[in-house]
Amino acid sequence: MSEALIVLSGVTRSFGSGAAAFQALRGVDLTVEEGDFVAIMGPSGSGKSSLMNILGCLDTPSGGSYRFRGLAVESLGRDQRAMLRRHALGFIFQGFNLLARTSAQENVELPLLYRGEPAARRHELARAALASVGLSGWEHHTPAELSGGQQQRVAIARALVTGPSLLLADEPTGNLDSERSREIMDLLAGLNREQGITVLMVTHEPDMAEYAHRIVRLVDGRIASDTRKGALQEAGGVR
């Protein structure tokens, strides 16, 4: 059997010390296979952001282990984690995080610029990524000239342009109306289904979580439930 994409074992994350210490994660065990689509849910303060920061190599566990394709991520240095982010991970944020005075194509090219790709290659890959999210012909528009849904599509293209194995989406529909939210979720589900990209998504919205194969619910820094879609449907939906 091939190595799982992600294996977390006993992961903890603490902030502060002494009487002021706060334990955001309390021994999280989580395995994610290649090609899965996982929604992470839970109330505010449940540890969702801390978990996503560790999965995205933006933070390291206080204890436990994180393996990405068998690589012990917690043992990597800052530069090694940055290299892993650039080559294996794509990030989608609630607030889009686009450069305001920069065209859609230039926004999408930014991760390739950090990777040192030559200009011609950056242009080619960025145009292809924008086409993959339905934005051919919009390459030279700035964010101010795009709708919220189009801006999030640019952000998804930027996450895709490096060919990541894993997309980490933090409330990707949080700033969108219901119609645009469904468009973005249809797009993410299609990328997962047709390209095999693994998706881990934080969401507060049960309707959006229904697009995932699996719902992981956090409560007080622990996994309270981890349910596959078929089991959810038999139980009557997401709660």
| 116 in any annotated domain | yes
Report whether 203 contacts 196 (CB < 8 A).
no
HSE-up of residue 134 (Cα within 13 Å, Cβ side): 13
206 domain-assigned = yes
Evaluate if residue 181 carries a pLDDT over 60.
Answer: yes
User: CA-to-CA distance for 102 and 104, rounded, in angstroms?
Assistant: 7
Residue 107 has pLDDT above 90, yes or no: yes
> Using CA atoms, how far apart are residues 49 and 38, in angstroms rounded to an integer?
15
Instruction: Provide φ and ψ at 6, rounded to 5°.
Output: -130, 135
User: Distance between CA atoms of 158 and 133, rounded to whole angstroms?
Assistant: 10
230 has pLDDT over 80: no
Mean pLDDT of the chain: 92
Q: Is residue 24 in some structural domain? A: no
Give the tens place of pLDDT for each residue, 10-66. 999 999 888 788 999 999 999 999 999 999 999 999 999 999 999 999 999 999 999
Contact status, residue 190 vs residue 168, Cβ threshold 8 Å? no
Domain total in the chain: 1
- List the CATH number of the domain containing 166: 3.40.50.300
- Per residue in 183-221, pLDDT (tens digit) is 999 999 999 999 999 999 999 999 999 999 999 999 999
Count CB atoms within 10 A of the CB of residue 51: 27
What domain range is 180 assigned to? 35-60+78-235
pLDDT at 3: 80
2 assigned to some structural domain: no
Q: Is the pLDDT of residue 77 over 80?
A: yes
Q: Does the pLDDT at position 239 exceed 50? A: no
Q: Average pLDDT, stretch 126-149?
A: 96
User: Exposure of 65 by Cβ count < 10 A (0-12 exposed, 13-18 middle, 19+ buried)?
Assistant: middle
pLDDT of residue 94: 85
